[in-house]
Structure 1
């Protein structure tokens, strides 16, 4: 089962796995990042890295370490871009080659359940929430969780470009439900992005999960 295969360009390699069993082996510099972590966190971290390395192999790339940077993001080999995500039950990674024109990738996976009501106002505007609830026929809480996943995917995609940690209010979400696409529009300028520049993504709701993916290519419009 793949949550992301239909959301991403076929040149992007995807690997996914359930979060069960013993953690896969980590390389030395990766293991240092979770040396003091609880077992569950070590499993999440290790499974995400294992998915990323399996995706590298699909691309014909040698397996490589993915240490965690000071910003807590994976440090990818110079010739690759990628993104890792997980829920309590599932892990996934998407990896692509820069020489194929890929600049950045952001993927996010969330359980298709209600986002805590005390987060709604922080994560999304009433209009974003109401629009999704109306067109998808879901509750307000699930609609808020969908917006959360879309913005998380956009945050992760744009960070390697802007090196800026955004707030939820810094992006506005518009959705084309029929095409299962969305745009995330900047509400403030950050390095390399101006107000009203847009990131383009796709989403799906299936198998109890919300999947969102955003990709920037060298030819991407804004």
Structure 2
């Protein structure tokens, strides 16, 4: 900037005398030297606010993804390993011949029961419902000695007991697990309802293994 200031001081009328400059050339040179600095040579400051907002948006999206992903996988929030329903709440009519669930993947808001005729005699049905209408329905039935029962679905093990697993397709997938423990036949059905949280085969087996 000091050099430019000195050059402006030198650029007088006499500078061009005897130099072969035309009147037009002289005017153009003087205009360029004495004019204000061009905006094209100014250094613009990069805005820092936009990158900060972008970082905050990314961090918020990541937090939401981790939370909902963890909820779905059973890491955060409702999960099959949380002991939210105690065995002491078992219905009295079940009797000592049946075990009862001790771990449920949601807070139980309502319990209902009924007796109905099953494929192998009288069956007791107990239904647990959560705050978002998610539902576990359990069927308890005693088998007559020597009953030949074949479990035709996907074979699984519930502890040391034989069982089978199946699930329906669709947005609200229903999971069904059946197993035999001694002379008792158990069936457990889970329906996610409005919660949107489904249970895998392994989740269902873990819940069944909580029966005491």
TM-score relative to the length of structure 1: 0.26
Find the structure with the greater CA-based Rg.
2
Structure with more contact order per residue of length (Cα contacts < 8 Å, sep ≥ 6) = 1
